[in-house]
Amino acid sequence: MEEIVRCSRCILPASLPSVKLDDKGVCNYCNSFDRSFGDWDNVKEMKKKQFEQIIEKVKKQNAEYDCLIPLSGGKDSTYALYVCDKIYNLRCLCITFDNGFLSDYARKNIRNAINATRADHIYYAVNPKTMLELYK
Ligand SMILES: [Zn+2]
Read off the pLDDT of residues 109-124 as tens digits, 9 standing for 90 and up.
999 999 999 999 999 9
| Distance from Cα 19 to the centre of ligand 1, integer Å | 8
pLDDT above 80 (res 16): yes
Whether 55 and 120 share a structural domain: yes
Given a contact cutoff of 8 angstroms between Cβ atoms, the answer to whether 108 and 135 are in contact is no
Whether 22 and 56 share a structural domain: no
Helices and strands, counts by H and E, the chain: 5, 3
| Distance from Cα 59 to the centre of ligand 1, integer Å | 36
| Distance from Cα 102 to the centre of ligand 1, integer Å | 30
The residue segments making up the domain with residue 125 are: 48-135
C-alpha–C-alpha distance, residues 15 and 9, integer Å? 15
| Distance from Cα 86 to the centre of ligand 1, integer Å | 34
Q: Who surrounds ion ligand 1 at CB < 5 A?
A: 7, 9-10, 27, 30
pLDDT band at 51 (very low <50, low <70, confident <90, very high): very high
The model's pTM: 0.75
φ and ψ at 95, to 5 degrees? -135, 135
Whether 60 and 110 share a structural domain: yes
